[in-house]
Amino acid sequence: MMLGGAGALSLLYPSQAPEIMALAALSNLVTNIVGFYAGVFLSLPLCRRLYTFWSRLFGRDDDGRRVGRATQAAAGPADPAAQPAPDAPVAAEDPKVPLSRRTQLLAYGVVGVSGLLMNLLGTKAFVPGDLLGMVILLLLTALSFRLAKWLPTVPSSVWVLGIATVLSAPFLPTSQLFATLTGNLDVILMGVPTLALIGLTVGRDIPALKALSWKVVIVALITYSASFIAAAALGQTVLHL
């Protein structure tokens, strides 16, 4: 979403493209940090309460079966993730691939080569620093996955954004090196393969999305709203300090 919006605005206002990408990256960092915890501690508990409220109001459980008040009181509040319907479609499971070192190197290699290829096709330029810049980005990604395993309460997306932001800060000696090695890498072009993979994943899970029906709309709206409100409140507070 960030890549699509920033890319469109950069095309409309090319003279302000650096500022747009800088604001988009900062917004992505804040939303990842704040939105993750807003979803866990605000959105999901609110969705559970809403499911219970509508279940009592319409007298039906999460599977659409009519339930009386006495039955609901005995069964307790409805849990949308407790027991799915027996005939409900489920998301296709990914094949169990052993995460050996060879498999991980292959995955990082495919991502790096596809990113460099898209950057080359889009910018019509390639310098040796692009290869080193891609290696640094992949190393930061691998480090973030490792840190997320050691500290599960912080997702890998927060780790990689936070580390990259700190290392590229002007007050550190690493900022000039990062700017030089990644200056020719276009984040929008490198994100195209990732967007394609996301589209393939969503298309594969269409039967599961149909089974969720209107519930997925409620969850999405509440989750996005909580993330946006929390991030906007933080931004407004910091701007007026």
Q: Can you tell me the distance from the alpha carbon of 64 to that of 77, in angstroms, rounded to the nearest whole number?
A: 15
Q: What is the pLDDT of residue 115?
A: 85
Query: pLDDT tens digits, residue range 120-169?
Result: 887 788 888 888 888 888 998 899 988 988 988 787 877 887 888 788 88
Query: pLDDT tens digits, residue range 178-198?
Result: 888 887 887 777 777 777 777
Buried b (16+ CB within 10 A) or exposed e, 7-30: bebbeeeeeebeebbeebbebbbb
pLDDT averaged over 10-residue windows placed end to end, the chain, 241 residues = 74 80 74 73 78 75 61 48 48 63 85 86 81 89 89 81 81 82 78 74 70 71 78 75 69
Q: What is the pLDDT of residue 68?
A: 58
